Chains A and B, each alone.
Chain A
Amino acid sequence: MTRSARWIVFWLGAGGVGVLIVLALLKMPSFGGLVHPYRELSVPAAIGRSSPNIVSSVNFDQRALDTLGEETILLGSVVGAAALLRPSKDEREQLDQDEGRVLEATKLLGYLLLPVTLIVGADVVTHGHLTPGGGFQGGVVLATAVHLLYVAGSYKMLRRVRPKSWYQVAEAVAAGAFVVLGLVGLLLTGAFLANIFPRGVLGDLFSSGTVFYLNVAVGAEVTSGVVVLLSGFLAQALSVREVR
Protein backbone atom coordinates (compact mmCIF):
# COMPACT_ATOMS: atom_id res chain seq x y z
CA MET A 1 0.00 0.00 0.00
CA THR A 2 1.40 3.42 -0.89
CA ARG A 3 1.74 6.05 1.81
CA SER A 4 -1.03 8.23 0.43
CA ALA A 5 -3.47 5.30 0.25
CA ARG A 6 -2.55 4.41 3.83
CA TRP A 7 -3.33 7.98 4.93
CA ILE A 8 -6.73 7.90 3.21
CA VAL A 9 -7.59 4.64 5.01
CA PHE A 10 -6.36 6.11 8.30
CA TRP A 11 -8.34 9.35 8.04
CA LEU A 12 -11.53 7.48 7.08
CA GLY A 13 -11.10 5.05 9.99
CA ALA A 14 -9.95 7.63 12.53
CA GLY A 15 -12.77 9.96 11.51
CA GLY A 16 -15.34 7.20 12.02
CA VAL A 17 -13.86 6.08 15.34
CA GLY A 18 -13.52 9.70 16.46
CA VAL A 19 -17.20 10.44 15.75
CA LEU A 20 -18.25 7.27 17.62
CA ILE A 21 -16.00 8.13 20.59
CA VAL A 22 -17.46 11.67 20.81
CA LEU A 23 -21.05 10.38 20.54
CA ALA A 24 -20.39 7.78 23.26
CA LEU A 25 -18.55 10.15 25.61
CA LEU A 26 -21.25 12.84 25.43
CA LYS A 27 -23.59 10.41 27.22
CA MET A 28 -21.05 9.66 30.00
CA PRO A 29 -21.81 10.66 33.59
CA SER A 30 -20.01 13.86 34.53
CA PHE A 31 -16.31 13.50 35.48
CA GLY A 32 -15.63 13.29 39.22
CA GLY A 33 -19.27 12.59 40.13
CA LEU A 34 -20.66 10.83 43.16
CA VAL A 35 -22.12 7.67 41.55
CA HIS A 36 -19.69 4.69 41.68
CA PRO A 37 -21.66 1.42 41.92
CA TYR A 38 -18.55 -0.81 41.74
CA ARG A 39 -16.98 1.04 44.65
CA GLU A 40 -20.07 0.62 46.83
CA LEU A 41 -19.78 -3.17 46.33
CA SER A 42 -16.02 -3.72 46.44
CA VAL A 43 -15.05 -1.55 49.44
CA PRO A 44 -17.21 -3.40 52.04
CA ALA A 45 -16.12 -6.74 50.55
CA ALA A 46 -12.43 -5.81 50.93
CA ILE A 47 -12.83 -4.55 54.51
CA GLY A 48 -14.76 -7.70 55.42
CA ARG A 49 -11.74 -9.75 54.32
CA SER A 50 -9.17 -7.72 56.29
CA SER A 51 -7.52 -6.21 53.24
CA PRO A 52 -7.13 -2.44 53.72
CA ASN A 53 -5.61 -1.97 50.23
CA ILE A 54 -8.82 -2.40 48.28
CA VAL A 55 -7.09 -2.53 44.88
CA SER A 56 -5.12 -5.58 46.06
CA SER A 57 -8.28 -7.18 47.41
CA VAL A 58 -9.99 -6.66 44.03
CA ASN A 59 -6.97 -8.05 42.15
CA PHE A 60 -6.13 -11.04 44.33
CA ASP A 61 -9.41 -11.97 45.98
CA GLN A 62 -12.54 -10.58 44.36
CA ARG A 63 -11.33 -11.12 40.78
CA ALA A 64 -8.26 -13.31 41.31
CA LEU A 65 -9.15 -15.40 38.25
CA ASP A 66 -8.56 -12.35 36.02
CA THR A 67 -5.19 -11.86 37.70
CA LEU A 68 -4.32 -15.48 36.92
CA GLY A 69 -5.04 -14.66 33.27
CA GLU A 70 -2.92 -11.52 33.50
CA GLU A 71 -0.09 -13.50 35.04
CA THR A 72 -0.34 -16.08 32.27
CA ILE A 73 -0.11 -13.31 29.66
CA LEU A 74 3.09 -12.16 31.38
CA LEU A 75 4.47 -15.72 31.40
CA GLY A 76 3.54 -16.21 27.73
CA SER A 77 5.15 -12.97 26.69
CA VAL A 78 8.37 -13.76 28.58
CA VAL A 79 8.53 -17.20 26.95
CA GLY A 80 7.83 -15.67 23.52
CA ALA A 81 10.42 -12.92 23.92
CA ALA A 82 13.01 -15.39 25.23
CA ALA A 83 12.41 -17.60 22.18
CA LEU A 84 12.73 -14.64 19.81
CA LEU A 85 15.86 -13.30 21.51
CA ARG A 86 17.90 -16.51 21.80
CA PRO A 87 21.07 -16.54 19.69
CA SER A 88 20.52 -18.12 16.26
CA LYS A 89 22.79 -20.83 14.89
CA ASP A 90 25.32 -18.42 13.37
CA GLU A 91 25.54 -16.34 16.53
CA ARG A 92 27.66 -16.87 19.63
CA GLU A 93 27.82 -15.16 23.00
CA GLN A 94 31.07 -13.25 23.30
CA LEU A 95 31.94 -10.94 26.17
CA ASP A 96 33.95 -7.84 25.39
CA GLN A 97 37.11 -7.54 27.47
CA ASP A 98 36.90 -3.76 27.57
CA GLU A 99 33.63 -2.69 29.13
CA GLY A 100 34.25 1.02 29.33
CA ARG A 101 34.42 3.12 32.47
CA VAL A 102 31.79 3.81 35.11
CA LEU A 103 31.88 7.17 36.88
CA GLU A 104 32.86 6.91 40.56
CA ALA A 105 29.73 8.84 41.55
CA THR A 106 27.55 6.38 39.60
CA LYS A 107 29.28 3.45 41.31
CA LEU A 108 28.81 4.93 44.78
CA LEU A 109 25.17 5.79 44.21
CA GLY A 110 24.44 2.43 42.59
CA TYR A 111 25.94 0.36 45.40
CA LEU A 112 24.28 2.53 48.06
CA LEU A 113 20.90 2.23 46.36
CA LEU A 114 21.13 -1.51 45.65
CA PRO A 115 20.25 -2.72 49.19
CA VAL A 116 17.74 0.12 49.64
CA THR A 117 15.96 -0.83 46.41
CA LEU A 118 15.89 -4.52 47.40
CA ILE A 119 14.31 -3.65 50.76
CA VAL A 120 11.79 -1.26 49.20
CA GLY A 121 10.84 -3.92 46.63
CA ALA A 122 10.37 -6.61 49.29
CA ASP A 123 8.36 -4.14 51.37
CA VAL A 124 6.08 -3.21 48.46
CA VAL A 125 5.44 -6.93 47.72
CA THR A 126 4.83 -8.11 51.28
CA HIS A 127 2.68 -5.13 52.32
CA GLY A 128 0.67 -5.23 49.11
CA HIS A 129 -2.55 -6.01 50.98
CA LEU A 130 -2.02 -3.19 53.51
CA THR A 131 -0.60 -0.19 51.65
CA PRO A 132 -0.54 0.85 47.99
CA GLY A 133 1.59 -1.61 46.06
CA GLY A 134 1.56 -5.35 45.52
CA GLY A 135 3.25 -8.14 43.63
CA PHE A 136 3.34 -6.47 40.22
CA GLN A 137 4.74 -3.14 41.40
CA GLY A 138 7.15 -4.66 43.92
CA GLY A 139 8.37 -7.22 41.40
CA VAL A 140 9.40 -4.47 39.00
CA VAL A 141 11.24 -2.66 41.83
CA LEU A 142 13.10 -5.87 42.77
CA ALA A 143 14.12 -6.52 39.16
CA THR A 144 15.37 -2.92 38.94
CA ALA A 145 17.50 -3.52 42.04
CA VAL A 146 19.21 -6.49 40.35
CA HIS A 147 20.03 -4.33 37.33
CA LEU A 148 21.68 -1.63 39.46
CA LEU A 149 24.58 -4.10 39.38
CA TYR A 150 24.86 -3.47 35.66
CA VAL A 151 24.52 0.31 35.97
CA ALA A 152 27.03 0.65 38.81
CA GLY A 153 29.21 -2.39 38.19
CA SER A 154 29.62 -4.21 34.92
CA TYR A 155 27.77 -6.58 32.63
CA LYS A 156 30.08 -9.42 33.68
CA MET A 157 29.24 -8.82 37.32
CA LEU A 158 25.53 -8.84 36.55
CA ARG A 159 25.89 -12.14 34.70
CA ARG A 160 27.78 -13.73 37.59
CA VAL A 161 25.28 -12.65 40.26
CA ARG A 162 22.21 -13.33 38.12
CA PRO A 163 22.13 -16.94 36.92
CA LYS A 164 19.45 -16.76 34.27
CA SER A 165 18.35 -20.38 34.68
CA TRP A 166 17.42 -19.79 38.35
CA TYR A 167 15.12 -16.96 37.36
CA GLN A 168 13.56 -19.07 34.62
CA VAL A 169 12.81 -21.80 37.16
CA ALA A 170 11.59 -19.25 39.74
CA GLU A 171 9.22 -17.75 37.21
CA ALA A 172 7.65 -21.11 36.36
CA VAL A 173 7.42 -22.12 40.04
CA ALA A 174 5.80 -18.81 41.03
CA ALA A 175 3.26 -19.00 38.20
CA GLY A 176 2.52 -22.60 39.24
CA ALA A 177 2.16 -21.59 42.90
CA PHE A 178 -0.68 -19.23 41.95
CA VAL A 179 -2.55 -22.10 40.27
CA VAL A 180 -1.82 -24.46 43.19
CA LEU A 181 -3.25 -21.93 45.69
CA GLY A 182 -6.31 -21.70 43.46
CA LEU A 183 -6.68 -25.49 43.34
CA VAL A 184 -6.35 -25.75 47.15
CA GLY A 185 -9.26 -23.32 47.37
CA LEU A 186 -11.20 -25.43 44.89
CA LEU A 187 -10.64 -28.61 46.94
CA LEU A 188 -11.46 -27.04 50.32
CA THR A 189 -14.41 -24.82 49.45
CA GLY A 190 -15.48 -25.75 45.94
CA ALA A 191 -14.47 -22.38 44.44
CA PHE A 192 -11.27 -21.84 42.42
CA LEU A 193 -8.98 -19.25 44.10
CA ALA A 194 -11.29 -19.00 47.12
CA ASN A 195 -9.84 -17.07 50.07
CA ILE A 196 -9.03 -20.09 52.26
CA PHE A 197 -6.47 -18.89 54.79
CA PRO A 198 -7.53 -17.24 58.08
CA ARG A 199 -8.28 -13.57 57.50
CA GLY A 200 -6.42 -12.39 60.60
CA VAL A 201 -6.63 -8.96 62.20
CA LEU A 202 -7.16 -5.99 59.86
CA GLY A 203 -3.78 -4.29 59.44
CA ASP A 204 -1.54 -7.22 60.45
CA LEU A 205 1.19 -8.46 58.08
CA PHE A 206 -0.27 -11.98 57.93
CA SER A 207 -3.87 -10.95 57.38
CA SER A 208 -6.32 -10.93 54.47
CA GLY A 209 -5.86 -14.68 53.81
CA THR A 210 -4.65 -15.71 50.38
CA VAL A 211 -4.10 -12.11 49.18
CA PHE A 212 -0.74 -12.03 50.96
CA TYR A 213 0.46 -15.34 49.49
CA LEU A 214 -0.78 -14.55 45.98
CA ASN A 215 1.01 -11.19 46.19
CA VAL A 216 4.28 -12.93 47.08
CA ALA A 217 3.83 -15.45 44.24
CA VAL A 218 3.13 -12.68 41.72
CA GLY A 219 6.04 -10.65 43.11
CA ALA A 220 8.42 -13.58 42.53
CA GLU A 221 7.02 -14.15 39.04
CA VAL A 222 7.24 -10.51 37.97
CA THR A 223 10.80 -10.19 39.35
CA SER A 224 11.98 -13.28 37.48
CA GLY A 225 10.00 -12.40 34.36
CA VAL A 226 11.49 -8.92 34.09
CA VAL A 227 14.99 -10.25 34.82
CA VAL A 228 14.67 -12.93 32.10
CA LEU A 229 13.27 -10.38 29.61
CA LEU A 230 15.98 -7.80 30.29
CA SER A 231 18.70 -10.48 30.18
CA GLY A 232 17.52 -11.36 26.66
CA PHE A 233 17.59 -7.73 25.52
CA LEU A 234 20.92 -7.01 27.25
CA ALA A 235 22.52 -10.10 25.67
CA GLN A 236 21.33 -8.98 22.22
CA ALA A 237 22.83 -5.54 22.77
CA LEU A 238 26.07 -6.52 24.51
CA SER A 239 27.23 -10.07 23.99
CA VAL A 240 25.52 -11.88 21.08
CA ARG A 241 27.74 -11.55 18.01
CA GLU A 242 27.43 -13.02 14.56
CA VAL A 243 30.23 -15.48 13.71
CA ARG A 244 31.12 -16.35 10.14
Chain B
Amino acid sequence: MARRQIYMDHNATTPLHPEVKKALREGMELYGNPSSLHSFGRKARHMIEESRGKVASFINADPEEVIFVGSGSEANNTVLSMLMCPSKVCSCGNADMAGREIITTSIEHPCIMRTSECLQDRGVPIKYLSVDQYGKIDFEELAGAITGRTGLVSVMMANNEIGTVQDIKETSRIVREKGVLFHTDAVQAAGKMPVDVRELDVDFLTLSGHKIYGPKGIGALYVRKGTPFCPLIRGGHQEQGRRAGTENTLGIVGMGKAVEARGKEMNTESKRHLQMKRALKEGLAGSIPDIRFNGHPTDSLANTLNMSFKGAEGEAILLYLDEAGVAVSTGSACASGSLDPSHVLIATGVPVEQAHGSIRVSLGRGNTMKDIDYLLEVFPPIIKKIRDMSSAYKRES
Protein backbone atom coordinates (compact mmCIF):
# COMPACT_ATOMS: atom_id res chain seq x y z
CA MET B 1 0.00 0.00 0.00
CA ALA B 2 1.63 3.18 -1.16
CA ARG B 3 1.84 5.82 1.53
CA ARG B 4 0.09 9.02 0.59
CA GLN B 5 -0.38 12.43 2.13
CA ILE B 6 -4.01 13.46 1.87
CA TYR B 7 -5.45 16.63 3.31
CA MET B 8 -9.14 16.31 4.14
CA ASP B 9 -9.53 19.06 6.72
CA HIS B 10 -10.60 21.95 4.49
CA ASN B 11 -13.18 23.27 6.97
CA ALA B 12 -10.25 23.99 9.29
CA THR B 13 -8.30 25.79 6.61
CA THR B 14 -7.38 25.51 2.95
CA PRO B 15 -4.13 25.69 1.00
CA LEU B 16 -3.59 28.81 -1.10
CA HIS B 17 -5.07 28.66 -4.58
CA PRO B 18 -2.30 28.78 -7.22
CA GLU B 19 -3.74 32.01 -8.59
CA VAL B 20 -3.78 33.48 -5.09
CA LYS B 21 -0.10 32.59 -4.71
CA LYS B 22 0.65 34.35 -7.97
CA ALA B 23 -1.31 37.44 -6.90
CA LEU B 24 0.47 37.45 -3.52
CA ARG B 25 3.89 37.30 -5.16
CA GLU B 26 3.01 40.30 -7.27
CA GLY B 27 1.35 42.03 -4.33
CA MET B 28 4.55 41.75 -2.30
CA GLU B 29 5.93 44.62 -4.35
CA LEU B 30 3.17 46.90 -3.07
CA TYR B 31 4.56 48.53 0.02
CA GLY B 32 3.00 51.97 -0.12
CA ASN B 33 0.55 52.88 2.61
CA PRO B 34 -2.87 52.80 0.95
CA SER B 35 -3.69 56.04 2.78
CA SER B 36 -0.75 57.93 1.23
CA LEU B 37 -1.46 60.34 -1.57
CA HIS B 38 1.68 59.62 -3.59
CA SER B 39 1.92 57.08 -6.37
CA PHE B 40 3.13 54.28 -4.04
CA GLY B 41 0.10 54.72 -1.85
CA ARG B 42 -2.28 55.06 -4.77
CA LYS B 43 -1.10 51.76 -6.24
CA ALA B 44 -1.85 49.94 -3.00
CA ARG B 45 -5.20 51.73 -2.68
CA HIS B 46 -6.08 50.69 -6.22
CA MET B 47 -5.35 47.01 -5.46
CA ILE B 48 -7.45 47.13 -2.30
CA GLU B 49 -10.43 48.68 -4.05
CA GLU B 50 -10.13 46.18 -6.89
CA SER B 51 -10.31 43.35 -4.33
CA ARG B 52 -13.21 44.98 -2.56
CA GLY B 53 -15.06 45.02 -5.87
CA LYS B 54 -14.38 41.31 -6.33
CA VAL B 55 -15.56 40.39 -2.84
CA ALA B 56 -18.66 42.57 -3.29
CA SER B 57 -19.56 40.95 -6.58
CA PHE B 58 -18.92 37.48 -5.07
CA ILE B 59 -21.78 38.07 -2.61
CA ASN B 60 -23.80 40.49 -4.80
CA ALA B 61 -23.12 43.50 -2.56
CA ASP B 62 -22.02 47.04 -3.33
CA PRO B 63 -18.29 47.64 -2.76
CA GLU B 64 -18.94 50.22 -0.02
CA GLU B 65 -20.86 47.56 1.90
CA VAL B 66 -17.72 45.43 2.29
CA ILE B 67 -15.31 46.03 5.20
CA PHE B 68 -12.03 44.15 5.32
CA VAL B 69 -11.17 42.85 8.80
CA GLY B 70 -8.54 40.56 10.34
CA SER B 71 -10.56 37.33 10.33
CA GLY B 72 -14.02 35.81 10.38
CA SER B 73 -13.78 35.84 14.17
CA GLU B 74 -13.13 39.58 14.16
CA ALA B 75 -16.11 40.17 11.87
CA ASN B 76 -18.37 38.18 14.21
CA ASN B 77 -16.99 39.93 17.30
CA THR B 78 -17.58 43.31 15.63
CA VAL B 79 -21.24 42.60 14.96
CA LEU B 80 -22.03 41.19 18.40
CA SER B 81 -20.07 43.83 20.28
CA MET B 82 -22.33 46.58 18.94
CA LEU B 83 -24.85 45.41 21.52
CA MET B 84 -22.78 46.84 24.31
CA CYS B 85 -21.68 50.06 22.74
CA PRO B 86 -22.92 52.87 25.00
CA SER B 87 -21.68 55.54 22.65
CA LYS B 88 -24.21 57.99 21.30
CA VAL B 89 -21.80 59.22 18.68
CA CYS B 90 -21.75 56.14 16.48
CA SER B 91 -24.71 55.02 14.45
CA CYS B 92 -25.42 52.03 16.69
CA GLY B 93 -25.74 54.41 19.63
CA ASN B 94 -28.39 56.33 17.76
CA ALA B 95 -30.20 53.09 17.07
CA ASP B 96 -30.26 52.39 20.81
CA MET B 97 -28.58 49.00 20.45
CA ALA B 98 -26.82 48.93 23.80
CA GLY B 99 -28.13 46.35 26.24
CA ARG B 100 -30.62 44.86 23.84
CA GLU B 101 -30.95 41.11 23.65
CA ILE B 102 -29.12 38.83 21.21
CA ILE B 103 -30.66 35.65 19.86
CA THR B 104 -28.27 33.09 18.43
CA THR B 105 -28.09 29.30 18.15
CA SER B 106 -26.53 26.55 20.22
CA ILE B 107 -24.28 25.41 17.36
CA GLU B 108 -22.43 28.61 16.42
CA HIS B 109 -18.67 28.84 16.03
CA PRO B 110 -16.82 29.47 19.33
CA CYS B 111 -16.18 33.10 18.30
CA ILE B 112 -19.94 33.70 18.53
CA MET B 113 -20.46 31.46 21.58
CA ARG B 114 -17.62 32.92 23.67
CA THR B 115 -18.43 36.52 22.67
CA SER B 116 -22.06 35.93 23.63
CA GLU B 117 -21.02 34.59 27.04
CA CYS B 118 -18.76 37.57 27.55
CA LEU B 119 -21.53 40.00 26.56
CA GLN B 120 -23.91 38.23 28.91
CA ASP B 121 -21.47 38.89 31.76
CA ARG B 122 -21.62 42.55 30.79
CA GLY B 123 -25.39 42.67 30.94
CA VAL B 124 -26.50 41.78 27.41
CA PRO B 125 -29.25 39.13 27.57
CA ILE B 126 -28.62 36.16 25.26
CA LYS B 127 -31.03 33.50 24.04
CA TYR B 128 -29.80 30.32 22.37
CA LEU B 129 -32.06 28.60 19.85
CA SER B 130 -32.12 24.82 20.00
CA VAL B 131 -31.55 22.65 16.93
CA ASP B 132 -33.07 19.34 15.87
CA GLN B 133 -31.17 16.08 15.41
CA TYR B 134 -29.86 17.33 12.05
CA GLY B 135 -28.74 20.70 13.35
CA LYS B 136 -31.63 22.76 11.93
CA ILE B 137 -33.20 25.61 13.88
CA ASP B 138 -36.97 25.77 14.39
CA PHE B 139 -38.69 28.78 12.80
CA GLU B 140 -41.53 28.79 15.31
CA GLU B 141 -39.07 28.85 18.19
CA LEU B 142 -37.25 31.71 16.47
CA ALA B 143 -40.41 33.75 15.90
CA GLY B 144 -41.49 33.16 19.49
CA ALA B 145 -38.10 34.14 20.88
CA ILE B 146 -38.03 37.60 19.29
CA THR B 147 -39.37 40.33 21.58
CA GLY B 148 -39.37 44.11 21.68
CA ARG B 149 -36.02 43.93 23.48
CA THR B 150 -34.29 41.90 20.77
CA GLY B 151 -31.55 43.89 19.08
CA LEU B 152 -29.87 41.26 16.90
CA VAL B 153 -30.33 37.72 15.66
CA SER B 154 -27.25 35.79 14.53
CA VAL B 155 -27.61 32.40 12.82
CA MET B 156 -24.74 30.71 10.98
CA MET B 157 -25.40 29.76 7.36
CA ALA B 158 -23.55 26.44 7.37
CA ASN B 159 -22.10 24.65 10.35
CA ASN B 160 -18.36 24.03 10.35
CA GLU B 161 -18.52 20.67 12.14
CA ILE B 162 -21.53 18.85 10.70
CA GLY B 163 -22.05 20.86 7.52
CA THR B 164 -25.77 21.47 8.09
CA VAL B 165 -27.06 24.41 6.03
CA GLN B 166 -29.81 26.63 7.47
CA ASP B 167 -32.52 28.30 5.40
CA ILE B 168 -31.11 31.79 5.89
CA LYS B 169 -33.58 33.43 3.52
CA GLU B 170 -36.53 32.29 5.63
CA THR B 171 -34.68 33.00 8.90
CA SER B 172 -33.96 36.54 7.77
CA ARG B 173 -37.54 37.06 6.63
CA ILE B 174 -38.86 36.15 10.08
CA VAL B 175 -36.31 38.32 11.86
CA ARG B 176 -36.56 41.39 9.65
CA GLU B 177 -40.35 41.27 9.60
CA LYS B 178 -40.12 42.10 13.30
CA GLY B 179 -37.78 44.98 12.65
CA VAL B 180 -34.74 43.24 14.14
CA LEU B 181 -31.25 43.24 12.64
CA PHE B 182 -29.99 39.94 11.24
CA HIS B 183 -26.44 38.61 10.96
CA THR B 184 -25.24 35.38 9.41
CA ASP B 185 -21.81 33.82 9.76
CA ALA B 186 -21.21 32.55 6.22
CA VAL B 187 -17.57 31.59 6.76
CA GLN B 188 -18.18 27.91 5.93
CA ALA B 189 -20.95 28.42 3.37
CA ALA B 190 -19.09 30.93 1.19
CA GLY B 191 -17.15 29.32 -1.60
CA LYS B 192 -19.03 26.05 -1.19
CA MET B 193 -22.49 27.28 -2.18
CA PRO B 194 -23.91 30.51 -3.59
CA VAL B 195 -24.09 33.38 -1.09
CA ASP B 196 -26.13 36.36 -2.30
CA VAL B 197 -26.76 39.07 0.29
CA ARG B 198 -29.65 40.58 -1.67
CA GLU B 199 -31.42 37.27 -2.05
CA LEU B 200 -30.75 36.28 1.56
CA ASP B 201 -31.75 39.80 2.65
CA VAL B 202 -29.33 39.99 5.58
CA ASP B 203 -27.97 43.03 7.41
CA PHE B 204 -24.56 41.59 8.25
CA LEU B 205 -22.62 38.68 6.76
CA THR B 206 -19.22 37.28 7.70
CA LEU B 207 -16.56 35.90 5.32
CA SER B 208 -13.08 34.52 5.91
CA GLY B 209 -10.15 34.40 3.48
CA HIS B 210 -8.38 31.22 4.54
CA LYS B 211 -11.45 28.97 4.23
CA ILE B 212 -11.67 29.74 0.52
CA TYR B 213 -8.04 29.17 -0.55
CA GLY B 214 -7.03 32.72 0.39
CA PRO B 215 -4.52 33.86 3.01
CA LYS B 216 -4.97 33.58 6.77
CA GLY B 217 -5.48 36.74 8.77
CA ILE B 218 -8.00 38.35 6.44
CA GLY B 219 -11.78 38.39 6.56
CA ALA B 220 -14.61 40.56 5.37
CA LEU B 221 -17.82 41.84 6.88
CA TYR B 222 -20.79 42.82 4.77
CA VAL B 223 -22.82 45.65 6.30
CA ARG B 224 -25.99 46.59 4.46
CA LYS B 225 -26.12 50.24 3.44
CA GLY B 226 -27.78 52.36 6.13
CA THR B 227 -27.49 49.71 8.86
CA PRO B 228 -26.42 50.92 12.33
CA PHE B 229 -22.78 50.10 12.92
CA CYS B 230 -19.94 50.79 15.25
CA PRO B 231 -16.34 49.69 14.86
CA LEU B 232 -14.64 47.19 17.12
CA ILE B 233 -11.25 48.70 16.36
CA ARG B 234 -11.20 52.48 16.49
CA GLY B 235 -8.70 55.16 15.77
CA GLY B 236 -8.35 55.50 12.04
CA HIS B 237 -10.25 56.52 8.96
CA GLN B 238 -9.52 53.24 7.14
CA GLU B 239 -12.45 51.25 5.78
CA GLN B 240 -14.57 54.41 5.99
CA GLY B 241 -13.79 54.65 9.70
CA ARG B 242 -15.34 51.25 10.33
CA ARG B 243 -12.14 49.31 10.98
CA ALA B 244 -9.06 51.24 12.04
CA GLY B 245 -5.54 50.07 11.28
CA THR B 246 -3.43 50.16 8.15
CA GLU B 247 -4.97 47.74 5.72
CA ASN B 248 -3.55 44.22 5.32
CA THR B 249 -2.91 44.99 1.67
CA LEU B 250 -1.42 41.63 0.80
CA GLY B 251 -4.18 39.73 2.59
CA ILE B 252 -6.83 41.79 0.83
CA VAL B 253 -5.20 41.18 -2.56
CA GLY B 254 -5.14 37.45 -1.80
CA MET B 255 -8.75 37.39 -0.69
CA GLY B 256 -9.85 39.23 -3.83
CA LYS B 257 -8.14 36.65 -5.99
CA ALA B 258 -9.53 33.81 -3.88
CA VAL B 259 -13.18 34.83 -4.33
CA GLU B 260 -12.59 35.35 -8.03
CA ALA B 261 -11.25 31.79 -8.36
CA ARG B 262 -14.06 30.40 -6.19
CA GLY B 263 -16.64 32.03 -8.41
CA LYS B 264 -15.29 30.08 -11.37
CA GLU B 265 -14.76 26.72 -9.66
CA MET B 266 -17.41 26.42 -6.99
CA ASN B 267 -20.33 24.92 -8.88
CA THR B 268 -18.53 22.09 -10.65
CA GLU B 269 -16.49 21.38 -7.53
CA SER B 270 -19.59 21.05 -5.34
CA LYS B 271 -21.05 18.47 -7.69
CA ARG B 272 -17.78 16.55 -7.63
CA HIS B 273 -17.58 16.72 -3.83
CA LEU B 274 -21.12 15.49 -3.46
CA GLN B 275 -20.28 12.39 -5.52
CA MET B 276 -17.15 11.79 -3.51
CA LYS B 277 -18.96 12.26 -0.22
CA ARG B 278 -21.66 9.77 -1.26
CA ALA B 279 -19.03 7.21 -2.22
CA LEU B 280 -17.24 7.70 1.09
CA LYS B 281 -20.41 7.51 3.12
CA GLU B 282 -21.67 4.39 1.38
CA GLY B 283 -18.25 2.77 1.49
CA LEU B 284 -17.79 3.37 5.21
CA ALA B 285 -21.35 2.37 6.06
CA GLY B 286 -20.74 -0.90 4.22
CA SER B 287 -17.38 -1.70 5.81
CA ILE B 288 -17.60 -0.43 9.40
CA PRO B 289 -20.29 -1.59 11.83
CA ASP B 290 -21.76 0.75 14.47
CA ILE B 291 -21.08 3.93 12.52
CA ARG B 292 -23.39 6.92 12.75
CA PHE B 293 -23.50 9.89 10.37
CA ASN B 294 -24.10 13.31 11.91
CA GLY B 295 -25.68 16.38 10.36
CA HIS B 296 -28.46 16.83 7.82
CA PRO B 297 -28.67 14.10 5.16
CA THR B 298 -29.38 16.55 2.30
CA ASP B 299 -29.21 20.20 3.49
CA SER B 300 -25.52 19.95 4.06
CA LEU B 301 -22.26 21.26 2.63
CA ALA B 302 -21.18 19.03 -0.25
CA ASN B 303 -17.66 18.70 1.16
CA THR B 304 -18.45 17.84 4.78
CA LEU B 305 -19.02 14.40 6.28
CA ASN B 306 -19.22 13.97 10.06
CA MET B 307 -19.51 10.57 11.67
CA SER B 308 -19.24 8.83 15.04
CA PHE B 309 -17.86 5.40 15.88
CA LYS B 310 -19.06 3.43 18.86
CA GLY B 311 -16.31 2.37 21.24
CA ALA B 312 -13.53 4.29 19.49
CA GLU B 313 -12.23 7.64 20.72
CA GLY B 314 -11.80 10.48 18.21
CA GLU B 315 -8.28 11.59 18.96
CA ALA B 316 -7.02 8.02 18.64
CA ILE B 317 -8.79 7.66 15.27
CA LEU B 318 -7.41 11.00 14.08
CA LEU B 319 -3.82 10.11 15.00
CA TYR B 320 -4.00 6.65 13.40
CA LEU B 321 -5.39 8.24 10.23
CA ASP B 322 -2.59 10.81 10.42
CA GLU B 323 -0.08 7.95 10.56
CA ALA B 324 -1.73 6.60 7.41
CA GLY B 325 -1.24 10.03 5.83
CA VAL B 326 -4.81 11.31 6.06
CA ALA B 327 -5.58 14.60 7.85
CA VAL B 328 -9.06 14.97 9.35
CA SER B 329 -10.47 16.50 12.53
CA THR B 330 -12.45 15.33 15.56
CA GLY B 331 -15.06 16.64 17.99
CA SER B 332 -13.50 14.62 20.79
CA ALA B 333 -12.76 16.46 24.03
CA CYS B 334 -9.32 14.91 24.24
CA ALA B 335 -8.16 16.53 21.04
CA SER B 336 -9.26 19.99 22.14
CA GLY B 337 -7.68 19.91 25.56
CA SER B 338 -11.00 20.43 27.32
CA LEU B 339 -13.15 17.80 28.96
CA ASP B 340 -16.23 18.53 26.90
CA PRO B 341 -16.83 17.06 23.47
CA SER B 342 -18.21 19.12 20.57
CA HIS B 343 -21.05 21.44 21.65
CA VAL B 344 -22.50 21.08 18.16
CA LEU B 345 -22.84 17.30 18.35
CA ILE B 346 -24.25 17.51 21.88
CA ALA B 347 -26.80 20.13 20.73
CA THR B 348 -27.97 17.78 17.97
CA GLY B 349 -28.51 15.03 20.53
CA VAL B 350 -25.53 12.80 19.75
CA PRO B 351 -24.83 10.78 22.94
CA VAL B 352 -21.77 12.09 24.79
CA GLU B 353 -19.83 8.85 24.35
CA GLN B 354 -20.39 8.96 20.59
CA ALA B 355 -19.49 12.65 20.40
CA HIS B 356 -16.09 11.66 21.84
CA GLY B 357 -15.72 9.29 18.90
CA SER B 358 -16.54 11.68 16.07
CA ILE B 359 -14.53 12.40 12.95
CA ARG B 360 -15.04 15.15 10.38
CA VAL B 361 -13.86 14.74 6.82
CA SER B 362 -13.95 17.98 4.82
CA LEU B 363 -13.03 17.75 1.15
CA GLY B 364 -11.32 20.40 -0.92
CA ARG B 365 -10.42 21.29 -4.47
CA GLY B 366 -7.33 19.05 -4.44
CA ASN B 367 -9.10 15.85 -3.39
CA THR B 368 -9.97 13.19 -5.94
CA MET B 369 -11.93 9.95 -6.00
CA LYS B 370 -8.56 8.16 -5.61
CA ASP B 371 -8.25 9.80 -2.18
CA ILE B 372 -11.67 8.46 -1.26
CA ASP B 373 -10.60 4.97 -2.37
CA TYR B 374 -7.47 5.23 -0.24
CA LEU B 375 -9.44 6.41 2.79
CA LEU B 376 -11.88 3.54 2.34
CA GLU B 377 -8.90 1.19 2.33
CA VAL B 378 -7.22 2.47 5.50
CA PHE B 379 -10.22 3.49 7.61
CA PRO B 380 -11.89 0.15 8.46
CA PRO B 381 -8.71 -1.56 9.80
CA ILE B 382 -8.01 1.49 11.99
CA ILE B 383 -11.46 1.35 13.58
CA LYS B 384 -11.05 -2.40 14.04
CA LYS B 385 -7.65 -1.98 15.69
CA ILE B 386 -8.96 0.65 18.12
CA ARG B 387 -12.08 -1.35 18.94
CA ASP B 388 -10.02 -4.49 19.52
CA MET B 389 -8.26 -2.72 22.39
CA SER B 390 -11.35 -0.83 23.53
CA SER B 391 -13.01 -1.59 26.83
CA ALA B 392 -16.16 0.08 25.54
CA TYR B 393 -16.83 -2.00 22.46
CA LYS B 394 -18.29 -5.48 22.21
CA ARG B 395 -18.21 -7.01 18.78
CA GLU B 396 -21.43 -8.72 17.78
CA SER B 397 -20.50 -12.27 16.86
Same assembly: no
Q: Which residues of B contact A (CB under 8 A)?
A: none
| Partner-B contacts on A (CB < 8 A) | none
